[in-house]
Amino acid sequence: MHDQSVHDLAKLVMDPTFWNERYRSSDTVWSGNPNPQLVAEAAELVPGEALDIGCGEGADAIWLAERGWKVTAVDVSTVALERAAAHAATVSTTAAQRIVWQNADLRGWVPPPATYDLVSAQFMQPPPEQRRLLHRTLAASVAPGGTLLVVGHHPSDLQTTVPRPPVPELFFTASDVAAVLDAEDWVVVVDAARSRTTLDPDGQPATIHDAVLRAQRTG
């Protein structure tokens, strides 16, 4: 993939206009269920302050809030945030009151440092330079003792029948995320390519892999 093609796609990955148009194109874009790796990794964590980056239609934020977390849910799309807030209100008034929905362009937004007990970024797939900057920024926002959870499409997904952007640079491993963390301040709890089964466009089962990095901040 040429650098120019990566650059052009990077504009779409983080672009508010692109995402607003995508959300307007359908009543729902995502399943409405929380991401499975968030459920697997956060179910036993003690609730506190959480930051949900790229929250979309709000399923992860709502799941966390229902379990007692106070959530700041951030997305580049105002359409997604309006949809998420409306969904939360129908699910649980109590949970909805625990969520702050925040519109931000993640290319320039910096969350408050050392603040959150959990920072979750699910399937944020910018190109490498932007991705490393994003992950360093998110890591800095984790409070001492808190958890960073980053989940993404693993490079092996490019070999499946499940549609993925044909841009290898957008995919990453858990070890790629771990590489931006200061080993003196972090303990890596999970570094995995975790398989799960989904259906491809023809309705046939396909195995995909999620890159899962879970780390705890010690310093």
pLDDT of the chain, 219 residues: tens digit per residue: 445 555 566 556 677 778 778 878 777 776 668 999 999 999 999 999 999 999 999 999 999 999 999 999 999 999 999 999 999 999 999 999 999 999 999 888 999 999 999 999 999 999 899 999 999 999 999 999 999 999 999 999 999 999 888 889 999 999 999 999 999 999 999 999 999 999 999 999 999 999 999 999 997
13, containing H or E segment: helix 3-13
Residue 29 CB neighbour total at 10 angstroms = 17
Tokens 């609730």 identify what position?
47
3-25+35-217 belongs to which homologous superfamily? Vaccinia Virus protein VP39 (3.40.50.150)
Planar angle of CA 29, 30, 33, nearest 5 degrees: 155
Nearest to 47 by CA among 62, 69, 73: 69
Residue entry with tokens 């023809």: 202
Structure tokens at 25: 């194109």
pTM assigned to the model: 0.91
